[in-house]
Amino acid sequence: MPKTPPPEPETAAPEPTPFDPPPCIRVVDFETTGAPDDGDPEPHAIVEVGWCDVVKGIAKNESLSYLVNPKRPITIPAMAVHHITDEDAATGESTANALRMLFVEGGPVDMFCAHNAAFERHFFEIPGVPWLCTYKIALRLWPDAPTHSNNGLRYFLHLQIMDRDYANGTHRAGPDAYVTARLLERILQTAREREIPFATLEAWSRFPPLFHKVSFGKHRGMLWSELPPDYLRWIADKSDMDADTKANARYRLREREAGQQQKENA
């Protein structure tokens, strides 16, 4: 009888690298009854949830979405953006069930991600599960992009979109999550090419957004790195501007000080 060949040796799994993302990153997008800071005395709530998974760095070709009953009226400005009416939302899932499904459907989730994740995190947070922010990361990777909206980056980066008709449904949770997942896929690819560790992407997501050009005042259009030091100090210490703008001024001042120190030590 012929001898049975010995079994092939098992191939060891490749060692993880500093550039590898977690196995499953769930990219999410919410449509809501209004913006958290619009002055409405009643807290705003979710009216639609959308999500698309990025598995081992590759975005899936489909996203899921479902309506959510917010148990409060949708503001007219919000309806004008996403076109979801009170009658539509009344047929949706309860908020508790919708958020439970967001976390448990499709298997374990290692990390959440959103474009401007601070907005989604205002409505949804799971203790111990970290977040990525594609908006903050894109500001660092492509500072010269003409816009850093997710669909602006879609065209600037020529992202591969499998279903354009579906993806063109902007300001709906499913299509926006799908486009952002494609953006995250490109971010992970670019970070690997530039040898930027995944931990750095996480850190950028935690820090304030780093702006490239000034979008206000007499210096509108000027690079932040070229602003006069006295103007940066005024923004940081004396202005009533928002926290992110003040953080950018302090960052640029520290950058100048570090550069000056290097010159003195050279």
Which structure tokens are listed for 232?
A: 């940066």
| 151: pLDDT strictly greater than 90 | yes
Tell me the C-alpha to C-alpha distance, in Å, between residue 80 and each of 32, 42, 174: 12, 19, 18
pLDDT in tens, 176-193: 999 999 999 999 999 999
Looking at the domain covering 24-206, what would its CATH class be? Answer: alpha beta
Q: What is the CA radius of gyration of the chain?
A: 22
Residue 13 pLDDT level (bands cut at 50, 70, 90): low
| 2: pLDDT strictly greater than 60 | no
Burial (CB < 10 A; 0-12, 13-18, 19+), residue 20, is middle
Nearest CA among 171, 202, 208, 169 for reference residue 184: 202
Answer yes or no: are the C-beta atoms of 260 and 252 closer than 8 Å: no
| 17: pLDDT strictly greater than 80 | yes
The amino acid that residue 66 corresponds to is Y
Domain positions in the chain? 24-206, 224-265
| 1: pLDDT strictly greater than 60 | no
Q: Whole-number mean pLDDT of the chain?
A: 92
Rounded average pLDDT over 100-106: 88
Model pTM score: 0.90
Cα 264 to Cα 136: distance, rounded to the nearest angstrom: 32
